[in-house]
Amino acid sequence: MINLFRLEKLQSKKLKYALIAIFILFVVVGTVLLKYYRDIFSSNTNLGDKTELYIHIPSGSDMQDVLRIFEESSCVKNLSSLQWVMEKKHYNESVKSGKYRIEEGVCNNDLVNLLRSGNQSPVKLTFNNTRTLEEFAGKIGKQIEADSLSILNFLKDEANLKPYGFNSATVIGLFIPNSYQVYWNMTPKSFTQRMYKEYVKFWNVDRMKKAAKLNLTPIEVSTLASIVDEETIKNDEKARVAGVYVNRLKRGIKLDADPTLKFAWGDFTMRRVLNKHKKIKSPYNTYKYGGLPPGPIRQASISGLNSVLNCENHKYIYFCASPEFNGYHIFARSLREHNKNAEKYQRALNKQRIFR
């Protein structure tokens, strides 16, 4: 005979165990889901006293390289959880190089989405006051991913420069000194393309008209401006110096520009140009050859470029440094007047015992 009391007790016990099992399962599932939620959506960056930092992911990096970068930066609290989210989002299939801004309190999900998107932060690229192409490449190589040697080799390859209308002697004139917003992972080619766009912007209709009025091309303006920049550090004198050289070009008189000799000799520290220096066989020797040299002798400044385009309209043909060594020059219309000024300067050099 069935004992109803025992049956009810047994069923109650089974129900109790089932409820306990369900509760345990709920706790386990909840714990797992909570862990997944934390791994994906909880803050996983700790920048200390900073609110942001930047990481640089080189071209050709894979997921493990990126994880090492985060490990070295010490900005991620839980690297394994970041790796897990990267794997779930297949980040290794879409690693994008660049400079990325990491904020305090960012979760793994947002962090991986940022890296996958390639939405990198721009770099403020600045260059000015550069004399040689080697020096220029060195400055750029410190600010973007491409190293100085790869930049230099690219800019010395005539085939790379031909599409832009430049050659190895004139290419320094392509780069207008300024500050630009660029991306860190630029290649030498993409960097040159971007700078050419800035070059075209600079040489607007107004500047092109002024250059044409002087019977000069933009690169010839850059070449003359580079000489002006070397002649004087005084911006308020550059237009007058430029006017002297424009007068000489118009009259077919050799430029006789000391800075071109320094460039030809490869010695920018030279303070006194002697007759022996004027004998060098170089197309940059403007004492020996008429007209402009083959290209700029340095990277012309914007003030130098504008000084040529807006040169003073005067009758000066000569100038020499002031014997007061104040950075300014004394200008002359005749050779006789110039020789007197030059003698005063030579005496001042001798007095200061400056012989080279």
Task: Indicate if 213 and 320 belong to the same structural domain.
Answer: yes
Q: Kindly state whether residue 190 falls inside one of the protein's structural domains.
A: yes
d(CA 261, CA 268): 9
Question: Over the Cα atoms of the chain, what is R_g?
Answer: 34
C-alpha count within 13 angstroms, C-beta hemisphere, residue 318: 13
Q: Is residue 282 part of a domain?
A: yes
Domain that holds residue 314: 205-351
Strands (E), the chain: 52-57, 98-103, 123-127, 178-182, 318-321, 329-332
On whether both 56 and 165 belong to a single domain, the answer is: no
- In this prediction, residue 73 carries a pLDDT of 92
Distance CA 299, CA 136 (A): 9
**Res 41 pLDDT > 70:** no
Residues 197 and 209 in one domain: no
What's the pLDDT tens digit per position in 263-321? 999 888 887 787 888 899 999 999 999 999 999 999 999 999 999 999 999 999 999 98
The per-residue pLDDT for range 111-170, each reduced to its tens digit, is: 999 999 999 999 999 999 899 999 999 999 999 999 999 999 999 999 999 999 999 999
* Nearest residue to 173 (alpha-carbon basis) of 115, 122, 113, 133: 133
Task: Let me know if residue 146 belongs to a domain.
Answer: yes
Report residue 178: phi and psi, to 5°: -175, -170
Residues 209 and 253 in one domain: yes
- Verify that 132 and 253 share a domain, yes or no: no
Q: Which candidate, 61, 116, 66, places its Cα nearest to that of 88?
A: 116
Cα–Cα distances in angstroms (integers) from residue 277 to residues 88, 270, 283, 287, in the given order: 70, 10, 14, 10
Answer whether residue 38 is part of any domain.
no
Measured N-to-C along each axis, helices 108-117 and 4-41 cross at an angle, to the nearest 10 degrees, of 40
Token reading at 77: 């609290």
Q: How many helices (H) and strands (E) does the chain have?
A: 14, 6
Q: Which residue is associated with the tokens 């973007």?
A: 144
Report if residue 3 sits inside a domain. Answer: no
Query: How buried is 113 (Cβ within 10 angstroms: 0-12 exposed, 13-18 middle, 19+ buried)?
Result: middle
Residue 191 covered by a domain: yes
| Same-domain status, 181 and 220 | no
In the chain, the number of structural domains is: 3
pTM for the structure as a whole: 0.84
